[in-house]
Amino acid sequence: MAASAKVKKEEKYPPPKRFQIADIQVSREATAVKPEVVSRMVNKAKNPVLVTGKYLLKEPELVNIAVKFYEKGIPIIATGGSSKPLIEKSVKPLSVVFTLHQITQYMLDPDWKGFNGQPYDVVVYLGFTPYYLSRMLSAMKHFSKVTTIAIDEFFHPHAKFSFTNLTKDKELYYEMLSKVVEGLEERK
């Protein structure tokens, strides 16, 4: 599984602050990784998927990033209404109507074959309300073996891999997202 891919020391960030300092758990916290690691995980995955949320409705930059994922052959599950700006850019999401809560419930079920006939092994999350995504990542961490990668602006402790906090510098955040898509190999 892609999650076992080794992350070298120089590909990590020092442990960042949790997006909510009191969201404490005793189990592992995410490894804060650089964009190259995200691309590599996705490239190595059997059936990766990008899940998008609310902030695509507020930040066109995130829509552009998602479109690039799609163009590289990574399918998109659009939640929270994020389908609308994506469809306007000719993306055909795997689903538009299910909430992240529902999608997570499906993903927790080892019998679920996904929307395209194959279970997802690497799930990348983009554009979510931090506290909502955090709960979903916690469910995924405790009750599934799927590799979760959060590429939002805040560090997500319950993901397997997460960006570090990039809240001070939006430009740097967008740059890192661009690097992720640059590193993606075209999938058939």
Task: Kindly tell me which of 99 and 118 has the beta carbon lying closer to another protein.
Answer: 99
- Residues 31, 142 contacting (CB under 8 angstroms): no
What do you get for the CA distance between the two ends of the chain, in Å? 19
DSSP code at position 94: S
97 near another protein (CB under 8 A): yes
> How many Å apart are CA 106 and CA 39, to the nearest integer?
25
Least distance in Å: CB of 28 to another protein? Answer: 8
- Token readout for 40 is 């590599």
Applying CB under 8 A, which part among 37-45, 60-68, 102-110, 173-181 lies near another protein?
A: 102-110
Q: Considering only residues 145 through 164, tell me which ones interact with another protein, judged by CB under 8 A.
A: 154
The residue from 34, 72, 141, 156 that contacts another protein (CB under 8 A) is: 141
The 10 Å Cβ neighbour count of residue 65 is 23
- Is the Cβ of residue 166 or residue 184 nearer to another protein in the bound state? 166
Phi/psi at 135 (5° precision)? -65, -40
C-alpha closest to that of 109 among 74, 77, 139: 139
Residues 73-92 that bind another protein (CB under 8 A): 78-81, 83-88
Q: Which residue number, 10 or 26, has a Cβ lying nearer to another protein?
A: 26
Secondary structure (3-state) at 29: coil
Residues that bind another protein (CB under 8 A): 17-28, 53-54, 57, 78-81, 83-88, 93, 95-102, 104-106, 108-109, 111-113, 128-132, 135-136, 138-139, 141-143, 154, 167-168
